[in-house]
Structure 1
Amino acid sequence: MGLLDLIKKDNSALRRDVETTGSALQRAREGDEGGLTGAATRLMERLLDTGIDGRGPLDSADKIAREALRKRGSTDEAIDEIVKDHTMLAATGGFLTSLGGFITMPIALPANLVEFYLLATRMVASIAKTRGYDINKPEIRSAILLTLVGADADDLLKKAGVVATGRLSNLAAQRLPGPILMVVNKAVAFRLLSTAGRGVLTRFGRGLPVAGGFVGAGLDTYLIRRIADAARHEFPEVKPA
């Protein structure tokens, strides 16, 4: 069962949030500038509130990290467990939302985008928590979102007027004001939207019934593993003072 299926089954309020965000994403894809602004704002809010803190049936990143540490003992093994679980969920979601081909693509892809980045945000936040970071700090939460965009993070920080030094987790030492962090967070959401669905091969593969499901699963698996590798790098273990 994918994350979206879990949402639809157990939490109607969160389901409406995902569906509304997906509708905004669809308007943005069709060139509605207002839709893009609304989609970016709503996506940013969902990633921070639901992806990190959890909501309804979705466990928080803090709980995921604590349970993984309890089960596995060591930090590295706990992170391996977190990445494995989220990779399986991403693959399942990618398969199910791409299974119908062109017929269901206009509805399924926006929903899958929200589902995927909720999973990715929770995974990165869980890794950060496992490594000893306070994921309630605004700077760390911004660093978590920046991890989703990979190599684009430095560019987004520069455009926001932030001097990036070393790993993204170093943002916590800069004590950036709230308005700057809000600009950074929204810039991440815009970047995610602007890069979503690019690639002719990706769109073509997902347009084929059944075969599209395997392409969707493979693509989401690749992307979430790449984000996991970035998270391992950006959040090194916090050393005791």
Structure 2
Amino acid sequence: MGLFGFGKDDDVKEMEKDISVTGSALERAKKGDEGGMAGAATRLMERLLDTGIDGRGPLDSAHKIATDALAKRRTTDEAVDEIVKDHTMMAATGGFLTSLGGFITMPVAMPANIVEFYLLATRMVASIAKTRGYDIDKPEIRSAILLTLVGADADDLLKKAGVVATGRLSNLAAQRLPGPILMVVNKAVAFRLLASAGRNTLARFGKGLPVAGGFVGAGLDTYLIRKIADSARREFPPVTDGTVR
């Protein structure tokens, strides 16, 4: 089981394995051998979409998270606030526990933390989008959800994929992009997340001290997931015409 009770099935274990060798994969990519990195990015993309949005095992789907939040709160904004609060607490807990041992536990703890952080972040963004009236089963909306994870890099990734970005990411739903284009966008997001994973590891273990590293990890994951939450609030404004987008 993962830190939050996420089922460690073969798919998630494979995803952790991908991230644990990201450094060597990046080096191979620089030398022209992109096979390993491409495979890791593909698996990461698939897990974020399938597990992060649709749920698997003990991990509830974004549909259920949004429905439960709306049932307990009087307004959409209150439901979104609860979703963000719950996921921030889980991210902080995961960051603390996996960073607690400093450099001693880093080789084992970091892949698990990175996997679960991105799964949490994906589910949080998808839940916000669902709460605000978006159809998170639409391929374009699912791509917009993944793009939200990379923040300011989203426009750059869209341009490189040949997509003209117009306003908010949720506007991708109106463009009816072909499946192959969306696949390119989704993979580009996964590549960017894998690359940023290494930078976050260095920041998290800059001092490498046991116990103190736990607070650094909790603080970093809290900061990152709040940034993603702020982006999600901007990119998925409430649907006002009563229709599901």
TM-score (norm 1): 0.93
Q: Which residue does 1:26 correspond to in 2?
A: 20
Retained in 1: the 8 A contact 2:94–2:218? yes
Residues in 2 aligned to 1:5 and 1:67: alpha-carbon distance in whole angstroms:
19
Give the match's secondary structure for 1:197. helix
Counterparts in 2 of 1:99-178, with a 5 A limit?
99-178=100-179
Q: Which is further off, 92-101 or 193-202?
A: 193-202
Retained in 2: the 8 A contact 1:3–1:93? no
Q: Which residue does 2:189 correspond to in 1?
A: 188
Say if 2:90 is the partner of 1:86. Answer: no
Shift of 1:53: 0.4
Say if 2:36 is the partner of 1:42. Answer: no
Shift of 1:181: 0.1
Structure 1 pair 236–136 and aligned structure 2 pair: CA distance change class (3 A): same
Shift of 1:166: 0.2
Shift of 1:5: 4.2
Q: Which residue does 1:203 correspond to in 2?
A: 205
Give the match's secondary structure for 1:6. coil
Residues in 2 aligned to 1:84 and 1:3: alpha-carbon distance in whole angstroms:
20
Residues in 1 aligned to 2:104 and 2:13: alpha-carbon distance in whole angstroms:
18
Residues in 2 aligned to 1:178 and 1:231: alpha-carbon distance in whole angstroms:
23
Q: Please, which runs of 5 or more residues in structure 2 have no aligned partner?
A: 30-34
Q: Which residue does 1:60 correspond to in 2?
A: 61
Q: Which is further off, 193-202 or 51-60?
A: 193-202
Retained in 2: the 8 A contact 1:44–1:185? yes
Deviations 1:198-237 (A, max 9, x none): 16543314x2111111100000000000000000000000
Retained in 2: the 8 A contact 1:25–1:36? no
Deviations 1:115-145 (A, max 9, x none): 1000000000000000000000000000000
Deviations 1:94-127 (A, max 9, x none): 0111111111112211221111000000000000
Identity of aligned residues (%): 77
Query: What letter matches 2:211 in structure 1?
Result: V
Q: Please, which runs of 5 or more residues in structure 1 have no aligned partner?
A: none
Give the match's secondary structure for 2:205. helix
Q: Which residue does 2:3 correspond to in 1?
A: 4
Q: Which residue does 2:32 correspond to in 1?
A: none
Query: What letter matches 2:198 in structure 1?
Result: G
Query: What letter matches 1:4 in structure 2?
Result: L
Aligned length: 234
Q: Which is further off, 193-202 or 135-144?
A: 193-202
Retained in 2: the 8 A contact 1:100–1:209? yes
Residues in 2 aligned to 1:178 and 1:132: alpha-carbon distance in whole angstroms:
23
Query: What letter matches 2:56 in structure 1?
Result: R
Higher helix share: 1
RMSD, aligned CA: 1.5
Residues in 1 aligned to 2:86 and 2:225: alpha-carbon distance in whole angstroms:
11
Q: Which residue does 2:76 correspond to in 1?
A: 75
Shift of 1:48: 0.2
Query: What letter matches 1:188 in structure 2?
Result: V
Residues in 2 aligned to 1:86 and 1:12: alpha-carbon distance in whole angstroms:
19
Q: Which is further off, 137-146 or 37-46?
A: 37-46
Q: Which is further off, 176-185 or 194-203?
A: 194-203
Retained in 1: the 8 A contact 2:100–2:211? yes
Say if 2:52 is the partner of 1:51. Answer: yes
Retained in 1: the 8 A contact 2:45–2:186? yes
Residues in 2 aligned to 1:153 and 1:240: alpha-carbon distance in whole angstroms:
27
